[in-house]
Amino acid sequence: MSILYAVIIGIIAGWLAGLFVKGRGFGMLGNLVVGIIGAVIGSWVFGLLGINAYGSFGPLITAFIGAVLFLALVKAMKHA
């Protein structure tokens, strides 16, 4: 996977997760950071569960799910 592809996936996944959890995005840089962290978390969780994400949308789905988990964790920590 090229760096450009990873950045684009990160931005899209972060933006979608921001819409899903918070109701709006975080700006270009914030979406990228959330998406990259989400990709790492999503890959780790999918690996633990033995799930492989293939195809064009596999990395996006993995990053999105991980980003949603990350934002939910941040939100829970803010309220604690």
pLDDT category of residue 66 using cuts at 50, 70 and 90: very high
User: CB burial class (10 A; 0-12, 13-18, 19+) of residue 46?
Assistant: middle
Dihedral over alpha carbons 66, 69, 74, 79 (to 10 degrees): 170
Q: Is the pLDDT of residue 56 over 90?
A: no
Q: Is the pLDDT of residue 22 over 80?
A: no
Question: How confident is the model over 50-64, as a mean pLDDT?
Answer: 91
Distance of CA 40 to the CA centre of its chain: 8
Question: How confident is the model over 66-75, as a mean pLDDT?
Answer: 90
